[in-house]
Amino acid sequence: MLGPGSGHGRVSKYFDLSKVETGVFWNMAECPIPEGMDITTLVGNITKSLKAEGFNGRITVYAYDHISHEERSYNDANVIASRLHSGDADANLRLTISSFLCWALRRPAPANIMVIVKDITVHSGIIRAFDRVTRKRYNCMVAQQVESREPFDDSIDKAWLWDHLAFGKPALSPPLTSSSTSHSQGDKSMQTQFMELKLKEISSDEADG
């Protein structure tokens, strides 16, 4: 099992993520609570899975559902709830993306972002947003309802099947990414991108000074 600091994602190779904050953005319509389980137990299992992977910082869960907030015990589970747009998949996708991008803007990097959806491979908008935030030192993870038929994007550090995460099981070890078959070349590429990012930040700081 790969823990933080040894995964394929760009950020975990360079930063200790064990104590940083994690935001979990959960589409409940695409990944519903398993039958017979309550939301408090499920959130506890998500926390258990993350801690098992070495993520011991503060964890906040943001849930998106079609029903009103009063119909579930969100408060008891310490879940921040928002209502999805009924029948508008594009609007719901934008809601998810804008939520974790705004969350990242309000949190100092590094930090962890987990998105829970049915199938990340069909959400190209999320992948593009992941690629953007990893360049700013935010570590990205995903849980999805279906088994992926394609490699995960290189921006994804860890991945779970939803049924595994919901029951507190560990992440896929390691997640298959598009660079898995060319590891050394991928490492070099990530190192180059990281150095370029640092040089840009240094240049920006000098210009501001």
Return averaged pLDDT per consecutive 10 residues of the chain, 209 residues in all. 44 90 95 93 97 96 77 74 77 89 94 95 89 94 85 86 96 64 45 55 56
pLDDT reported for residue 154: 85
Partners of 177 in beta bridges: 152
Q: Name the residue type at position 185.
A: Q
How far the first Cα of the chain sits from its last, in Å, is 44
CA distance 182 to 123: 25
pLDDT reported for residue 77: 78
pLDDT reported for residue 3: 36
pLDDT reported for residue 183: 45
**Quick one: 88 exposed, middle or buried, by C-beta within 10 A (0-12, 13-18, 19+)?**
exposed
Backbone angles phi, psi at 128, to 5 degrees: -65, -40
- In a 13 Å sphere around the CA of 130, the CA atoms on its Cβ side amount to 26
